[in-house]
Amino acid sequence: MQIPRLAFRLALGKRLPTTRNELRLEGPRAPLTIRRDRYAIPYIDAANDEDAWFGFGFCQAQDRAFQLELRLRTIRGTLSQLFGEQTLGIDRLARRIGFYEASQRQVDVLDDDVRTQIEAFVRGINAAYDAGWRRQPLEFALPP
Which has the closest alpha carbon to 88: 80, 99, 98? 80
For 134, residues 6+ apart whose C-beta sits below 8 A from its C-beta are 14, 15, 16, 17, 18
Total domains in the fold of the chain: 1
CATH of the domain at 56: 1.10.439.10
pLDDT at 11: 52
For the chain, state the CA radius of gyration.
Answer: 18
- Domain containing 38 equals 2-141
Residue 59 pLDDT more than 80? yes
pLDDT score at 1:
47
Confidence label for 25 from pLDDT (cuts 50, 70 and 90): confident
The half-sphere exposure of 24 on its side-chain side, counting CA atoms within 13 A, is 0
pLDDT value of residue 50: 95
Please tell me the predicted confidence (pLDDT) of residue 36.
Answer: 86
Angle at which helix 88-97 crosses helix 49-76, to 10 degrees, equals: 120
The pLDDT value recorded for residue 131 is: 78
- What tens digit of pLDDT does each residue of 68-91 get? 999 999 999 999 998 899 999 999
pLDDT digits (tens, 9 = 90+) for 89-129: 999 999 999 999 999 999 889 999 999 999 999 999 999 88
